[in-house]
Amino acid sequence: MIREQEQEMSMRFDSYPENEQFARMVVTAFLMDLNPTVDEMADVKTAVSEAVTNAIIHGYEDCVGQVSLTCRKHGKDVMVTVSDQGKGIADVERAREPFFTTKPEAERSGMGFCFMEAFMDEVHITSAEGRGTSVEMKKHLHLPAGE
Amino acid sequence: MEFLYETKTGSLRIFTPREIDECVASEMREEADMLIDNYQIRHLIFDFSNTEFMDSSGIGMLIGRSRKMGYIGGSVEAENLSERVQKIFTLAGLPKLITVVKEEQYD
């Protein structure tokens, strides 16, 4: 069954790493009724995890702040927005490059945005230094015919 | 979080948890390094039998352990990868650093 009306949920949580799992669980539960494939659900979960981790590790590097997560579903389309009011990204284009990280000493892989791009159809990043970052991602689910 | 592991003269097998994100990866990093140093490990095996989810923080942790083992002249293997974890490995180019052992039941 595909719901034609748009539905939205949003939440805010403190930037503790323990909340990464919580954010993934909420998104998973919210999208469950669209009946996505296991792979599609894992794609969205991974992308959410990457964006939330970035907000926690980079956005609120030396402090605890609030991370906002909004998820919308409309027909077969899923939109997720993760934003923070943290330090922002100095060079968004560089941040998107594979293996680029500002924290090599912390063993960051530099693959965060690459994973978001690999697993979602669209990824838009809006960032301003000192004011925060917002990542908006979209994915079109390919639900089986007749559902 | 407690991790399951087995040690046998010079070799350490870590059973990775169900989900590996930043929170879990940072704990695994500390625990693995402590075990590698304490038991003088030369052969490290990550057993992914239980793992359904891993993000790029897991990749960072694995690359770090692979470097550490490289410095001390040891080796790193990954076993029992689910399709999902295999996909993440491939996307990040991990098979160049870590030997992925293919089991017959995973084809």
CATH 3.40.30.10 fits A7-140, yes or no: no
- Is the backbone of residue B80 left (phi > 0), alpha (psi -120 to 50) or beta? left
Structural domain boundaries in chain A: 7-140
Provide the pLDDT for residue A5.
85
Half-sphere exposure of B2 (CA within 13 A, CB side): 1
Q: What is the 3-state secondary structure (H, E, C) of chain B?
A: CCCEEEEECCEEEEECCCEECHHHHHHHHHHHHHHHHHCCCCEEEEECCCCCEECHHHHHHHHHHHHHHHHCCCEEEEECCCHHHHHHHHHHCHHHCCEEECCCCCC
Per-residue pLDDT reduced to its tens digit, B48-91:
999 999 999 999 999 999 999 999 999 999 999 999 999 999 99
- A7: tokens are 């539905």
Distance from C-alpha of B18 to C-alpha of B49, rounded to nearest angstrom? 9
Residue B94 has pLDDT above 60, yes or no: yes
Residue B45 has pLDDT above 70, yes or no: yes
Distance from C-alpha of B24 to C-alpha of B57, rounded to nearest angstrom? 9
A108 included as an active-site residue: yes
Q: Which of A21, A111, A112 sits opposite B23 (nearest CB)?
A: A21
Provide the pLDDT for residue B3.
83
Provide the pLDDT for residue B2.
74
For chain A, give the percent of residues with pLDDT over 90. Answer: 89
What value does the mean pLDDT take over residues B91-106?
A: 84
- Tell me if B67 is assigned to some domain: yes
Specify the DSSP element, H or E, that contains A12.
strand A7-14
Residue B1 has pLDDT above 90, yes or no: no
Total residues found in chain A within this entry: 147
- A52: tokens are 């939330």
Provide the pLDDT for residue A145.
53
Contacts of residue B100, defined as CB under 8 A and 6 or more positions apart, other chains included, come to: B77, B78, B79, B81, B86, B89, B94
Contact B60 A57 (CB under 8 A): no
CATH of the domain at B36: 3.30.750.24
- Tell me if B81 is assigned to some domain: yes
Tell me which residues of chain B have a C-beta less than 8 Å from any C-beta of chain A: 19, 21-23, 26, 29, 53, 55-57, 59-61, 63-64, 84, 88, 91-92
Residue A43 has pLDDT above 60, yes or no: yes
Provide the pLDDT for residue A142.
87
Tell me which residue of A132, A85, A141, A82 sits closest to A112, measured CA to CA: A82
- A25: tokens are 């669980």
For residue B37, the enclosing domain spans: 4-101
Q: What is the ipTM of this complex?
A: 0.90
Nearest CA in chain B to A19: B23
- A9: tokens are 């949920």
For chain A, give the percent of residues with pLDDT over 70. Answer: 95
- Tell me if B30 is assigned to some domain: yes
More confident residue, A142 or B98: B98
Contact A109 B19 (CB under 8 A): no
Contact B22 A20 (CB under 8 A): yes
Band (pLDDT 50/70/90 cuts) for residue B17 is: very high
Contact A108 B92 (CB under 8 A): no
Distance from C-alpha of A104 to C-alpha of A9, rounded to nearest angstrom? 35
Provide the pLDDT for residue A66.
98
Ranking A61-65, A104-108, A109-113 by mean pLDDT, the lowest is: A104-108
What value does the mean pLDDT take over residues A69-79?
A: 96
Highest-pLDDT range among A3-7, B69-73, B101-105: B69-73
Which residue in the block uniquely carries the two structure tokens 């560089």? A94
- Tell me if B106 is assigned to some domain: no
Residue B2 to residues B15, B17, B23, B56, Cα–Cα distance (Å): 10, 9, 13, 21
Residue B107 has pLDDT above 70, yes or no: no
Which residue in the block uniquely carries the two structure tokens 């004011």? A131
Specify the DSSP element, H or E, that contains A112.
helix A112-119
The total number of structural domains in chain B stands at 1
